[in-house]
Structure 1
């Protein structure tokens, strides 16, 4: 019998009222059931805790993930649906916290993530994920980002991504992928695809056609080669195309003009060529265009003019055309691009004046016009409305004949109060220090190199110190005390790069430099008038990487025991001062020291005979001091990376040992002007660093470049006769050996001709004997060859004339003999003094060759010396004899007549002889016929 409905309702109410608490308790006790605390479901909470257990989490980033904190919807990196309480967002980026890493190589606990079945947004960046099967359970996933995760071993498990039917955004950047599966199941949903910085090679382009909803494609740095793929040209619905950092070639297709919805086009760092298609001027929805670092050519004017016609206004925010071959002026219509936030036109072939209309770009934040051929001046109108400007870069590689002039009033109130980065290298701002800079107290990067300032540092200048990280006032004529001591009650600064080289600063280095500028990493005060000693407090700059105090008036001894504690120190340049005493052993033990230059001082003593630890030295320059003793053996054993060794003009003695030949990377060896003796080892041929022509070495390019933190000492290479060449930018292309002005004896080792990359070889002023190596002609890069003032003998090898790069030759003051080779490059060296002091040499340019006898063919040196008087006396005897006879005949008429009568009579004798001989032959033939 059925129970009436009203009775059923009463019964149900009764059960809920009295049994409800018991039912709830039973549910909580059931391990297999789900329940909520706050908005958090217990199953998902336990899954997240399981995931956390697989992580190394030494920081407090996941401190909220605890059992006693039961509402997981309030945990860090977790987002829940406000209605259902299920976790829909999970964002864990290991890149922002290096303490988040997997405990085991097997990867994170992916089965735990499979419990988050309602996830729509998942970010797992920077993890090692080797199993992706958990993705097949996340059927609601719309956004997936596994960038910076190592997926190189996932293989076929990438197919699990193909089961995500609702996926609209996929980010797999920097995942070490070399292949990518064909995706078919989300072709109608996927709108954003980011596969950048992998190694695909572009073989999957046809698959892109299947993604009908695709609006954003990022294939940056995926090793695409050849023209822009046709498959992309057909996806006219794309709003974002990023194909930068590839090997694309050819022109930019005109068909891209059909992309009427295009908002971003990034083709930077390829090999594209030709002009910017004129149709690009109609991209009124374009927000970003980057064609930088390509071979794009033509004028920029028509493109900018086209964009300026967009109505109501162009939406372009980022325009990067730097490092291209664009020509022409910046058009005045640039001022109509009101939305521009970043404008990069650096290092092109553009020229002319900079239009004042730039000053109307009120939203502009970064402006880079560096490394072009601008002229004219910049006035207050150019900066009138640039109050939002953060970075301004208008620099030149070198000072142009007519530098860009900043014509700004001293009373002008600069509106660039937000400016943080300023680089005006090689512009003209001086001669007075620009007063309009006083309001720029937010600068962090400040470079006024070679801007024509010949003034003192103003009193207000230290006010901008607190926010500075880079300060470069180099190569001006700024005078006064070194601005290292803070004034006006300011505290210590944040400066880590300080470049004041090439000025007229005086005074001393403050004793408390470690307190005023504790963060200094790169400091160069070279080429100034600074005096006094180097304070020991410099060793308390624990971040110090480069210290250059060369070409000043510093004196005294160096701090002794502190250098080895500077664990980041890479460069020490104290050359051309008056420093004295012994070099601290602790300097050699600085763990990262790459360059040590102490030349042109008064240092003395021996080098350490034995060192257990030496930094990774690449340059050692101790030239022009008073060092003595032997060359330490440890140099060859402990300096495998040494490229430059310069010890010239000291008092070193002893021999070059075979252990020194272990310096295989050596490219410049300068031991000239010492007291070294013995023979030149045959193992010089082991200097493999000189055996080949080396590519550009960024460490050895120029003197300190603050903006890129590069440094190298300007190495002085002596050639001959006191000529000193200062190599800086060309140093990277040069290999050199200079052993001149020593007491080396024996022969020049033939193995030295194995050094085919050698540019300079100077062995002059020694006691070398024997012959010039026969294969000297194989050293085709030789520019300087000086073997003068030795005791070399024999002939000059003929193949020396094949040295086409030779521009300085000196073989004087030896015992060389024979014919001087001619032809080719030797024709450009006509100075006879380069062969002087070799009595046995002949021919051009000495002009003393015998006409019929080649001395070069004689067998022995003694024979050559015996024949020499004959060749000297022969022309003299000829002249004397000729004029003794002919002169008498010309002066005495009777003698002249008698001489010619004698000649006539003498002609009868040979005629009679001929007649008698012929008669005798005829008679003998007649008798023979009758016999």
Structure 2
């Protein structure tokens, strides 16, 4: 060895067996852990992938997806083009998410697939289709979004077979008839959207029977579903859903009056009860909902005064009280309310009287303001159109 070369330390032979033993045991442990993961179903919160999966999609999953695509006879030619019988990994297909440990499909999100009106004149618009049974072979689905698709008939009872489902969106699909009682067994649901299926109704079961056990709900949208129940009974049916954040039931044939039963939704951020027949004043208790960002009570036969405390809600961005019978003046905002984060204010179509308080124009984030069709004694002065975000 030359003089400039560094000496390489020699490993004593007595240590070599120990190191090889440790390496062997380490590999054995890793092998056992990986084997045990392959033999168990996907956990509720799964490791998912849309890209480089460590394991390709299972053949029974890809065949179920292809069968489901074949049932969608009215979809546009460019939709689901990646879904092919060419041996490609279905975990890379459009709208599909897999568990990368097991290969099971855990999310199917394929919305708005059908051809627009330019392909189908109104006289020849295609009829909707029923959900194909192949969907229920994807038994580890956690998220299912088929919204804005041309479906029809009743919501299938077999959805209850998807026992891992936490998010279900069937909005704007054309479903009709009774919502099946089987949905009450889907107790893992966190988000449910059945809105804007104009023929849906809740009678047998009614709202209480369907939702009393869905205690994990955080987001509920049933707009245009015929509920035909009082607001108090609806609210009390969800009293165990302590984490409810979205509560959207506009146009649901809900009757009033509005009362304090709404106030146990202390986590609520979006509340829409518009186009119902509440026939009451706005309860000041709503001002205790400190996390609310959007409050919509449009065309709900609300009467009386606007509670000034609504403008003190720290997170409120959208306030829509239009189309009611409110008959007071517009509240004069206090200095502490001027820092409000309000961006949209609609008080149109009421019976509001008096002058427009100048303090209203100190709401610096206001982008949309509608005070039309009231009994106010003056128009909005042009000098007030200097709010930086106000749409002119």
TM-score, with normalisation over the residues of structure 2? 0.69
Offset, 1:656: 4.2
Matches within 5 A, 1:61-460: 330-334=83-87, 337=88, 340=89, 342-346=91-95, 365=98, 388-396=104-112, 400=116, 401-402=125-126, 405-406=129-130, 408=132, 414-460=136-182
Match of 1:202 in 2: none
Is 1:478 the counterpart of 2:200? The answer is: yes
Offset, 1:644: 0.8
Offset, 1:428: 4.1
Distance 2:242 2:93 in 1: 35
Contact 1:545 1:568 in 2 (8 A): yes
Higher RCO (C-alpha 8 Å, min separation 6): 2
Distance 1:635 1:366 in 2: 52
Offset, 1:415: 3.2
Offset, 1:443: 1.2
Offset, 1:618: 0.7
Greater gyration radius: 1
Match of 2:359 in 1: 634
Offset, 1:468: 1.1
Is 1:652 the counterpart of 2:376? The answer is: yes
Change (3 A) 1:656 1:426: closer
Offset, 1:331: 3.0
Contact 1:571 1:593 in 2 (8 A): yes
Change (3 A) 1:656 1:467: same
Offset, 1:527: 2.6
Distance 2:377 2:108 in 1: 56
Contact 1:403 1:428 in 2 (8 A): yes
Contact 2:82 2:93 in 1 (8 A): no
Change (3 A) 1:592 1:424: same
Contact 1:341 1:366 in 2 (8 A): no
Question: Structure 2 unaligned runs (5+)?
Answer: 1-17, 20-50, 57-77, 117-124
Contact 1:544 1:566 in 2 (8 A): yes
Contact 2:319 2:346 in 1 (8 A): yes
Change (3 A) 1:331 1:458: closer
Offset, 1:327: 9.4
Contact 2:80 2:94 in 1 (8 A): no
Helix, strand or coil for the counterpart of 1:547? strand
Offset, 1:417: 2.8
Distance 1:495 1:537 in 2: 17
- Length, aligned pairs only: 309
Distance 1:503 1:613 in 2: 40
Match of 1:223 in 2: none
Offset, 1:389: 2.5
Q: 1:617 aligns with which of 342, 345, 362?
A: 342
Distance 1:636 1:554 in 2: 30
Distance 2:288 2:196 in 1: 32
Offset, 1:515: 1.4
Contact 1:484 1:516 in 2 (8 A): no
Match of 1:540 in 2: 264
Offset, 1:659: 6.6
Contact 2:207 2:237 in 1 (8 A): yes
Matches within 5 A, 1:815-854: none
Match of 1:885 in 2: none
Change (3 A) 1:445 1:328: closer
Q: 2:245 aligns with which of 521, 526, 529?
A: 521
Match of 2:48 in 1: none
Contact 1:403 1:427 in 2 (8 A): no
Offset, 1:550: 1.4
Name the structure with the higher strand share: 1
Question: Structure 1 unaligned runs (5+)?
Answer: 1-82, 85-264, 267-285, 290-324, 347-357, 359-363, 368-385, 668-735, 737-931
Distance 2:85 2:319 in 1: 52
Match of 2:316 in 1: 593
Change (3 A) 1:288 1:483: same
Change (3 A) 1:631 1:391: same
Distance 1:636 1:642 in 2: 8
Helix, strand or coil for the counterpart of 1:613? helix
Distance 1:551 1:415 in 2: 39
Task: Tell me the alpha carbon deviations over residues 79-99 of structure 1, each in whole angstroms, 9 at most, x when there is no partner.
Answer: xxxx89xxxxxxxxxxxxxxx
Helix, strand or coil for the counterpart of 1:607? coil
Task: Tell me the alpha carbon deviations over residues 193-244 of structure 1, each in whole angstroms, 9 at most, x when there is no partner.
Answer: xxxxxxxxxxxxxxxxxxxxxxxxxxxxxxxxxxxxxxxxxxxxxxxxxxxx
Q: 1:512 aligns with which of 236, 261, 270?
A: 236
